[in-house]
């Protein structure tokens, strides 16, 4: 009514979307969440396990490489500098130390001293025998040289093999006049296998040439 002090008020209440509907997660949502979490955890575990395996494999190989590098460097220094002529040929020995393997080589080093590099058993280490030398009135007794045990870093020498790289044997070594050998007659193939109960196996092969020699006449 006109002039009246009464005012018309809209008493309709408008509810905001989602208000009063906070009921938490449903059972299906919880199950889906747990399944997804499980998948993520399994995937993460596999990634960590794979990374761990790679780490240990690389570490073990690195240790084996360090040990074999030290052993090979020593043998190479002796073999590379040894005397090699048509008359004096280093002998690659078979026998006694380990049946079935050519695990020792006998040669004369750059000083003219007769030496033998061999695998020592049962220690499973590499040893170098320096034979007795007489120089004038002085006599140097036979002695065996060995690496310090710490050098091996828990590895042992499972096998050590010396063979002529060109495939010949010590009874009939190839000469420079032989037709097209794959390797010169003064190259020795050295195969070394290391074993460790903690780090596994490491195998390496090197070809070592003797530089202190006289070529045979063609």
* 69-120 pLDDT tens trace: 999 999 999 988 887 665 555 666 543 333 335 678 888 887 778 888 999 8
Q: What is the pLDDT of residue 17?
A: 53
- CA separation for the pair 157, 147 (Å, rounded): 12
Profile the chain (218 residues) by mean pLDDT over runs of 10 residues.
Answer: 50 51 65 78 75 72 92 93 64 44 78 86 91 81 92 93 74 50 80 92 92 51
Q: What is the pLDDT of residue 217?
A: 36
Number of H helices, E strands in the chain: 1, 12
DSSP track, 67-121: HHHHHHHHHHHHHHTSEE-SS---EEE-STTSTTS--EEEEE-TTS-EEEEEEET
* pTM (whole model) above 0.75: no
Q: What is the pLDDT of residue 213?
A: 55
Beta bridge partners of 93: 104
Q: What is the pLDDT of residue 165?
A: 83
């Amino acid at each position: 009514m006109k002039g009246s002090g009464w005012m018309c008020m809209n008493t309709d209440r408008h509810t905001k979307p989602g208000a009063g509907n906070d009921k938490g997660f449903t059972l299906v949502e919880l199950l889906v969440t747990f399944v997804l979490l499980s998948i993520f955890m399994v995937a993460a575990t596999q990634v960590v396990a794979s990374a761990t395996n790679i780490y240990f494999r690389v570490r073990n190989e690195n240790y084996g490489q360090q040990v074999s590098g030290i052993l090979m460097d020593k043998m190479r220094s002796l073999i590379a500098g040894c005397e090699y002529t048509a008359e004096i040929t280093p002998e690659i020995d078979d026998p006694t130390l380990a049946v079935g393997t050519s695990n020792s080589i006998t040669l004369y080093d750059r000083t003219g001293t007769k030496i033998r590099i061999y695998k020592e058993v049962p220690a499973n280490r590499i040893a170098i025998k320096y034979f007795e030398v007489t120089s004038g009135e002085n006599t140097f007794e036979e002695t065996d040289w060995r690496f310090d045990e710490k050098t091996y870093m828990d590895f042992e020498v499972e096998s050590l093999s010396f063979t002529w790289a060109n495939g010949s044997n010590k009874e009939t070594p190839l000469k420079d006049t032989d037709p097209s050998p794959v390797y010169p007659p003064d190259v020795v193939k050295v195969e070394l296998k290391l074993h460790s109960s903690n780090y596994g196996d490491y195998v390496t092969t090197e070809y070592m040439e003797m530089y202190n020699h006289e070529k045979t006449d063609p």
